[in-house]
Amino acid sequence: MEYDIIVIGGGIVGLASAYKLQKSNPALKILVLEKEDKLASHQTGHNSGVIHSGIYYKPGSFKAKNCLDGRKELVSFCKEHNIEHDICGKVIVATQEWELPQLDKIFVHGQQNQTEGIRKITAEEIKEIEPSCTGIAGIHVPCTGIVNFVGVTNKLAELIVSIQPESRVLTAHEVVKIIQGERKIVETIKGTFVGKNLVFCGGLFSDRLAKKDGVKNLDMQIVGFRGDYYELTDAAKHKVKNLIYPVPNPQFPFLGVHFTRMWNGDIECGPNAVFTFKREGYGKLDFSLKDTTQALTFGGTWKLLINNFDFAINEYKRAFSKKLFLKQLQRLVPSLEMQDLKPGRAGVRAMALQPNGAMIDDFKIVYNDQSLHVLNAPSPAATAALAIGEEVRKMAETHFGI
């Protein structure tokens, strides 16, 4: 079975890319292959469901531009297709004096990134927005929201087939081999397909898929970091109205433990960030010999862990200690008690590391012999998915000649 384009990866970035290509080129036959039984099974379906504003990102970066453009398009898409979402706003809260310069830097980034409506707020104004939250200063970000990203992904799949009935979105089709040639042959566990061009959106396995496709000089490797969440019990949900974030420590590549009201009404608290011994390991004790060996024989992993040793140890302690997790949460909401928390889900973040241990912070898309590879799409990739899909479309039309 031959297709004009085969998209490998059924998360939101893969479906957004396929949708943008299909919408712009209705005659193309496009195939999307997803290895799991359902779309959006991993990073898309295990993230916090936040529509990010773009306030944090380095001005002028691919992230900053695509987050702004993608957010606006995502909200319009949700309105058009009646997908659950709410532009509820969030507060970024400083609880200690040493955080104030970083809070100011974030505000300046937000202004440069054209983040609408942001304003600095006082301790009293924090209380007006989030009565249970305590801080010394903050930023109100009204354009942040929450959304059902799985619902968005499934709607994109539906629209692709409605535009071109000969296009297909197949689940349970894990790609095992790619044979190079004038037409690329994609072998899956359930069948073989021929594609004139390929687009890879493999998330946690983007590096391995790139190697399968013969990408040379791959100067990065994906290393997984698990994030554990707690949820507030029904009796404690009133303590968080919408979204509460700490001021992120600039020394570490994570936003810190925060509170998120989900689109379904649940309140999540987290995540932490711990090295995972399995790329799709959502349990604390999940283990894959292949994933662990590959991660721990890569010099970049060790350099990252050594450079952030104290942070890594503290995160591991919190992963196995509800008391320590609670203590971190109480920095923002002091009235929280142990009985207010119940175990929640977990997610795994694909961190693209260079051999020197540096994290590739921006989105990274490369071309390779009739293939495009989205090698790195960290947060806010879900928010920015439609904008990333547009970038993929432009690149595909240039390189594939469609």
For the segment 26-36, what is each residue's pLDDT rounded down to a tens digit?
999 999 999 99
For residues 120-129, average pLDDT: 98
DSSP category for residue 338: G
Q: How confident is the model at residue 253 (pLDDT cuts 50, 70, 90)?
A: low
CATH class for the domain made up of 221-242+249-359: alpha beta
- Do the beta carbons of residue 53 and residue 193 sit within 8 Å? no
- Do the beta carbons of residue 201 and residue 11 sit within 8 Å? yes
Q: Where are the domains of the chain?
A: 2-45+150-219+361-399, 90-142, 221-242+249-359
**Does residue 187 surpass a pLDDT of 70?**
yes
Of 155, 154, 203, 201, which is closest to residue 6 (Cα–Cα)? Answer: 201
Percent above pLDDT 90 for the chain: 91
Say which CATH architecture domain 2-45+150-219+361-399 belongs to: 3-Layer(bba) Sandwich (3.50)
Taking only Cα atoms into account, the Rg of the chain, rounded to an integer number of angstroms, comes to 21
- Do the beta carbons of residue 55 and residue 29 sit within 8 Å? no
Show Cβ contacts of residue 234 under 8 Å, excluding neighbours closer than 6 positions.
none
**Rounded distance between C-alpha atoms, residue 341 and residue 267, angstroms:** 10
Distance of CA 307 to the CA centre of its chain: 24
What pLDDT, on a 0 to 100 scale, did the predictor assign at position 206? 98
Tokens found for residue 130: 């989030």
